[in-house]
Structure 1
Amino acid sequence: MIVCPNCNHQNPDGAVQCEACYTPLPATTQCPNCGTTVQADASFCGQCGFNLKTPEPESQVATAVSSPVSESDPDRLPDLLTIDPLVSPDPLVEPPPPTSPEPVAEPMLLPPVPIAESTPVSSATQLQNQSGRLLHLQTNVVIELPQGLPVVHIGKPNDRIPPDIDVSGFPNSEIVSRIHADIRADGDAYYIEDVGSSNGTYINNVPLLLGNRHRLRPGDRIALGKGDKVSFLFQMS
């Protein structure tokens, strides 16, 4: 199905314009990994997460190596370098005859000095990964994204997929679907996608089409539903 970016009407695959509002529909193609229908300009497959923008391998360029061959006679070997003769070594000088050794005073033995044990210092540096959070713009409430979850579900309580971030307590939450959007964590990167909400998901006032993923960057404005009534600001901490 192709979702209309204007009215969210679900149109059959292959449709050129929306059946409800006659808005031109974006071009679609199939994911080469799972065969799901996705938009032609999508970066990731909404079904299996396959990267649709894999770069083509660069061509290898052969490097020619020139050989030192004479231009006049290719079979002629290059002339050898002339090596200077070795310098004759200096004559050996006999050492002087040994003399009687002078008496040497015995060294004084000092008590051993205790050495303080040093505490080993670990050179390993603890690296702290950045974590994401959402600032609710209507109430200034900060929601930390749960750590250790590959997928964070956003919505309201339901019997199918309980939300990891419950927005039912925020004002105007009636425009948010029970299963609205997902945020996926990949290392220090976060991606958001709409999972079939009724009123849509908007990134910086641009509708996020079903099946597309958007990589979140600090300062991105996320609106759940139309009218920017339930919106968040993505931040990194």
Structure 2
Amino acid sequence: MITCSACGYDQNPDGAEFCDACGSELQEVATTVIPSSQAPTVIQPQTPPPPPQIPQPSYSNPIPITPSFSTSTATTARLIAKQPSSPTPEFFLDSNAIVGIFDPDMGPVDIDLESFSGGDTVSRNHAEVYQEAGVWKIKDLGSTNGIFIKPAGQTRFAARITLPETLNSGDEIAFGKVRFLFQSP
């Protein structure tokens, strides 16, 4: 079994490329045969440093101060339309968002691309853009015309995504034929 380095799930079958639990790419650990004359070196994981100590005031009855650490890693991001004269020049993302087109039976979506040029290539529930552990990701929700990502600095779009993909600032995303630039701090 392969253990996922992203989420720790340890039930992924040998030879799997992606984690069954979180969809992250799995890294197979290569095993090396060590001659019996050499003892293996055990590498201990490093422990994180203790939290900083906050000096106490020198009052006769000091008040204890407990440091507060935020575990929130949420950040905002933007989808900036690549088409000139777009009906909406950009969308702000601060939480999960469903990208698609309005359907009277299914209701509204968070980012409606129906009025965009090429909007006829966007499915009702086309994609979900979301954060996972402070990292922005995108996944296809069974769209007809797919999602394509052109990583920042590349000249071509990669193949249609089939599993959740990490988004990096500067990546270009195509929902069918509607294209956006993804930006995050």
User: If the length of structure 2 is used for normalisation, what is the TM-score?
Assistant: 0.57
Amino acid at match of 1:132: A
Residue in 2 aligned with 1:142? 90
Counterpart Cα distance in 2 of 1:185 and 1:128? 9
Secondary structure in 2 matching 1:157:
coil
Residue in 2 aligned with 1:224? 175
1:167-206 matches, within 5 Å, as 167-204=113-150, 205-206=157-158
* CA pair 234-221 structure 1, distance change in 2 beyond 3 A: same
Q: What is the percent sequence identity of the aligned residues? A: 27
1:1-237 matches, within 5 Å, as 40-41=16-17, 43-45=18-20, 48-53=21-26, 61=41, 130-138=75-83, 139=86, 141-145=89-93, 147=94, 149=95, 151-158=96-103, 159-160=105-106, 162-204=108-150, 205-210=157-162, 212-225=163-176, 229-237=177-185
Amino acid at match of 2:76: S
Secondary structure in 2 matching 1:206:
coil
Which runs of 5 or more residues in structure 2 are unaligned? 1-8, 32-39, 44-66, 151-156
C-alpha RMSD over aligned residues: 3.8
Residue in 2 aligned with 1:13? none
- Compare CA radii of gyration and give the structure with the larger one: 1
Secondary structure in 1 matching 2:78:
strand
Any conservation in 1 of the 2:16–2:26 contact (CA below 8 Å)? no
* CA pair 186-202 structure 1, distance change in 2 beyond 3 A: same
Q: How many residues align?
A: 135
Secondary structure in 2 matching 1:203:
strand
Counterpart Cα distance in 1 of 2:16 and 2:26? 10
Counterpart Cα distance in 2 of 1:218 and 1:62? 38
Question: Can you list the C-alpha shifts for 1:23-61, whole angstroms capped at 9, x where unaligned?
Answer: xxxxxxxx97599xxx954x454xx425452675x9x73
Amino acid at match of 1:221: E
Q: CA deviation at 1:195?
A: 1.4
Secondary structure in 2 matching 1:61:
coil
